[in-house]
Structure 1
Amino acid sequence: MMKQIAVYAAALLIVSTPVLLVPGCTKSTNNDDDLIGNWSISKDFESDARSEAILFTIGDKAYIGTGVSATKRYNDLWEYDLDRDYWTRMKEFPGVARNSAIAFAVGNKGYVGTGTDGYDEFNDMYAFDPVANTWAPVKPFPGSARYNAVAFTLGDKGYVGSGYDGSDLQDMYAYSPGTDTWEQVKSMNRRRSAATAFVIDNKAYVCSGNNNGTALNDLLVYDPGTKDWTEKRKITNVSDETYDDDYSGIARYNAVSFVMNNKGYLATGTTGGYASTVWEYDATADQWTRKTDFEGKVREGALGMTLKNRGFVLTGRNGSEYYYNMFEFHPADEQNDDDNQ
């Protein structure tokens, strides 16, 4: 996603007009009755509609904040308790209000940094303690100031890399909270920004991303044991085998991902036009299966999260329209449009 110099100057992307069910929801345009999966409406995000926010999870709670709307940038933080289905406002992020930052959690703390305010990029980092409801600065990210980076957690370390600082990047750094230190680890194979990442069996999968306006068709996996990247099968139909014959529209950027039952899910995002398709990744087979399309309005800059092995997508934007709604995905269920009416 290109940096917004002014928050009201978001460029519109032209997409086909969806069939409305309720404000903020659209009926899936699937023509294939064999697709499995169902989306249901969950409790709306409590604060303003926005995109490019941050999210991290600690235990059974999610923490969401920062981001950009049509009129402003944010430095707020909200806690979502799945058991109570309740939002609580927490202490504000102490850095400059921003969007397109990164967040990860290690142990019982969340970490937030990088991003842009529309004019400058940042490499500062802060730790959040949800029990004390306090923020504290930690050692800054050692790479260049940037936005649209990717972040994930493996074991007792948080990883941050790629992104955009005037050009797309491919570097990667690991942060150890116990010693408040960073180390540079092996870079990815190609430059990218606005990629998405998910973790299965303590390995991180980084999917696609934007390389100079092109959605990359690769999937990389990082193993903290070997400290190396492995490229998995391409996410487009490029082989002579049949497994990828139906691969279409997996590659994208500014998308979301989440994990349920050791499978990764990819939704929302853009390739120049908004992506509605949803894909499930089986890491053992290294194969993707198309699921029921996302049933909210197509969008980018949304958030994806897993709580108690349940997957959710929330916030995001479509052109100049910003969202605060949240949806839950049920990958094994038959599609039931009544859930979204």
Structure 2
Amino acid sequence: MKISFKKMRLLLIAMLLSVGALSSCESDSDDDVLLGEWQKQSDFAGVARSSAVSFVIDGKAYVGTGYDGSSRLTDFWMFDPATNNWVRKADFPGEARSAAVGFSANGKGYIGTGYNGTSYLKDFYEYDPATNAWTQIEDFPASARYGAIAMSFANAGYVGAGFDGNYQKDFWKYDPATATWTEQIGLQGAKRLNGYAFTVNGKGYVSGGLNNNVYQTDLLEFDPATAQWKTLKALTKEQRPNETFPVPRTYATTFSINNTAYLVGGTNGAALNDVWKFDPATDTWTKLGDFKGGLRQGAIGFGIGEFGYVGLGNTGSQRYDDLWQLNPTIVSE
């Protein structure tokens, strides 16, 4: 059968259009491929709880305090990712509490502030993993409070904001070498309760939380070398047109690995389970799907090596004792 030149040209055009359509479909599919796979780890060995604290020392995570739905707690545990195992350590010696803060600095861990069910707290304790022993240190020098934020750098910890009957925005540095607290420049922008904080590449970041029952959208950067704050673009459409970013929230969980921060869950009136990656080098957010453990607020989060971990927390009255590991290099769909 002889095909005319005109028909041949039409056939070629149709074939090219077909290839273009297939390429377009493949591109759309690629857009749906996300980095990051969640894998369940060994369950937390203590009772299920929310609003616990955690910190990391020498590649191991330490977790304690919190609220099980009826009682505040003082038990304290170590998680070793190398063996995927939990070991109970010396109980936290202060009053049982929830909504405290924890940080690590200079090879030791610190827990303080919080709420005991009737009163706000300001006492602070140092944990030495070498001796498995606690020592009470100088009280937090500002007002007793709960729902504060904390940051860890190599040789110092920072604590601020929270609620003492009023919303707060003050900021304090603890130096283990001198065992002293020093007031820093307070947070720029709003006061906040139950905001979230993380450190990446030597700087700290703060966002979220409530101020007078309003969810906060600002994003702040703290440089411990200069003790100065910088205001980044807020998490709003006005300041981030054509960008993706997380909605404002409280009780969110964060961790940092590979010079990148991750934000998981929280609540904005309803429990959330979304997962976001923040790149401070470009001040951009990327959504990484949803947390495999489900809706979650008041959870713990920490990064060790190449992996991030999220566990415990609650959804309504349901409290959890699970632990999940995020491998950010695995492709999932």
TM bracket, shorter-chain basis: 0.7 to 0.9
- Are 1:267 and 1:277, in contact at CA under 8 Å, matched by a contact in 2? yes
**Alpha-carbon distance, 1:241 to partner:** 4.1
Aligned counterpart, 1:339: none
1:115-130 paired onto structure 2 within 5 Å:
115-130=114-129
CA contact (8 A) 1:268 1:298 kept: yes
State the match for 2:90 in structure 1. 91
Q: How far apart are residue 73 of structure 1 and its match? A: 1.1
Normalising by structure 1, we get a TM-score of 0.86
Deviations 1:233-270 (A, max 9, x none): 1122213743x2x33x4321110111121111000100
Matched AA of 1:234 = A
Q: CA deviation at 1:195?
A: 1.1
1:238 aligns with 2:230: no
1:294-305 map, 5 Å = 294-305=291-302
| 1:331 aligned partner, one-letter code | P
User: In the aligned structure 1, how far is the partner of 2:45 from the partner of 2:128?
Assistant: 21
Q: Say if 1:251 and 1:332 are closer, same or farther in 2 by CA, change over 3 A.
A: farther
Structure 1 residue 309 displacement after superposition:
2.5
Deviations along 1:16-63, whole A, 9 cap, x unmatched? xxxxxxxxxxxxxxxx83444221111111110000001011011110
Structure 2 equivalent of residue 160 of structure 1: 159
* Paired position in structure 2 for 1:66: 65
Counterpart of 1:287 in structure 2 is 284
Distance in 2, matches of 1:91 and 1:330, equals 31
Structure with more of its chain in helix, by fraction = 2
Are positions 1:314 and 2:311 aligned together?
yes
Identity over the aligned pairs, expressed in percent? 37
Aligned counterparts of 1:34 and 1:304: Cα–Cα separation in 2: 24
Q: Is the 8 A contact 2:105 2:176 kept in 1?
A: yes
Q: Which has the larger radius of gyration?
A: 2
Give the aligned residue type for 1:260. I
Structure 2 equivalent of residue 170 of structure 1: 169
Residue number in structure 1 paired with 2:249 = 252
2:192 matches 1:186: no
Residues matched between the structures, number: 302
Instruction: Identify the residue that residue 54 of structure 2 maps to in structure 1.
Output: 55
- What CA distance in whole angstroms lies between the structure 2 residues aligned with 1:303 and 1:188? 23
Matched residues in 2 for 1:266 and 1:41: separation?
A: 18
Q: Is the 8 A contact 1:149 1:164 kept in 2?
A: yes
CA contact (8 A) 2:234 2:240 kept: no
| Alignment match, 2:5 | none
Could you give the per-residue CA deviations for residues 263-306 of structure 1, whole angstroms, max 9, x where no partner exists? 11000100111112111101110110111211112011000101
Task: Tell me, in whole angstroms, the C-alpha distance in 2 between the residues paired with 1:270 and 1:214.
Answer: 13
Aligned to 2:3: none
What TM-score do you get using the length of structure 2 for normalisation? 0.88
**Is residue 103 from structure 1 mapped to residue 102 from structure 2 by the alignment?**
yes
Question: Using the alignment, how far apart are the partners of 1:218 and 1:240 within structure 2?
Answer: 12
Matching residue of 2:138: 139
Whether 2:326 is the aligned partner of 1:329: answer yes
Alignment of 1:22-41 (within 5 A): 33-41=32-40
Query: Is the 1:37–1:334 Cα contact (8 Å) retained in structure 2?
Result: yes
CA RMSD of aligned residues (A): 1.4
Partners in 2 of 1:57 and 1:310 — Cα distance?
Answer: 13
Instruction: Output aligned runs, 1:204-243, within 5 Å.
Output: 204-239=204-239, 241-242=241-242
Output the CA distance in 2 between the equivalents of 1:116 and 1:314: 21
Q: Give the gaps of 5 or more residues in structure 1.
A: 1-31, 337-341
Structure (1 or 2) with the greater strand fraction: 2
Higher relative contact order (CA 8 A, sep 6+): 1
Q: Judge conservation of contact 1:150–1:194 (CA < 8 Å) in 2.
A: yes
Q: Which runs of 5+ in 2 are unaligned?
A: 1-30
